[in-house]
Each structure stands twice: as structure tokens, then as C-alpha cells.
Amino acid sequence: MRYFSLILFAAILIFSIDFATQNTDNVILNYTLDLINFNFMTSRPIFVPVFFSFAFGIIFSVFYFFFYHASLLRYQHKQKKEIKRLKRLVAIEREKHVKMEERNRELQLIVERVQNRLDIQNDPITTEPESGETSY
């Protein structure tokens, strides 16, 4: 596929040269623009207007491609900036989440210690009065 475009270009070039050498008859080109009183008339070989119309089409296509490509690159640059911003936000949120999990573990340990203390205080075996003490 890489060499196909080169072969196609060479074939079109050879066809163009052959077309130009075989079509040397003159044709009259007349262009009139009445709005500004402009009149243009010339006599050229037939291959000249054909080649100029192809050339203008190719030039227009090239300019259109560059403008379209530039707009796509600008859009891609905006997307990359947005991706970086979103990655930064995700990293901040992950950091918050990790800190929150650590805080939750600490709170869970505190709750477990308090619960263990309450269990020890409410344990009937440890709350019985010792011999010599009387409970009223």
C-alpha cells in the first residue's frame, strides 16, 4: 500500500504528459462578469484549462486537509489537557479516599477498644466483690 500511491502518481503523471501532447488544439476561453464590467477572452490549448482545473482542485484539497488537520490537532490538544486535569482530580480523590480509609481504620480500632473496655466492665466475673467487701 505504501508504494501504491507512488505508482498511482507516476501513472497519472505519464497520462498527463500523454494527454498534453495529444490535445494541442486551441480552445477559446471566455469569462465575463457583468457586475463589474469585466471581460476576459483567450485562446489556449485544451490541456491548459484541464490541467489548471485539476491543479486548483488539488490545491484546494491540500489547503482543506491542512485546515482540517490543524483543527483536529487543536481538538486533540484540548482533549489531552482535559485528560491531564481529570487524572489530577482522580489522584486527589484517591488520596482523599486513602486518608479516609486510614481514618476509618483508626476509628474502628478506637471503637473496638471502647467495646472491649465496656465488655470487661460488664463482665460478671470481674465485677464480683472480693472476700472482705460487702455489697449492700
In DSSP notation, 91-113 reads HHHHHHHHHHHHHHHHHHHHHHH
| Total number of residues shown for the chain | 136
Cite the DSSP H helix spans in the chain: 4-22, 47-122
Burial of 45 (0-12, 13-18, 19+ CB in 10 A): middle
pLDDT band of residue 60 (cuts 50, 70, 90) is very high
The average pLDDT across 110-123 equals 82
Average pLDDT, the chain: 83
Q: How many Å apart are CA 103 and CA 45, to the nearest integer?
A: 87
| DSSP reduced 3-state for 13 | helix
The average pLDDT across 41-68 equals 87
pTM above 0.75, yes or no: no
pLDDT surpassing 60 at residue 129 = no
pLDDT in tens, 63-111: 999 999 999 999 999 999 999 999 999 999 888 888 888 888 888 889 8
Q: Which residue has the cell 491531564?
A: 84
Residue 45 · residue 28 · CB < 8 Å: no
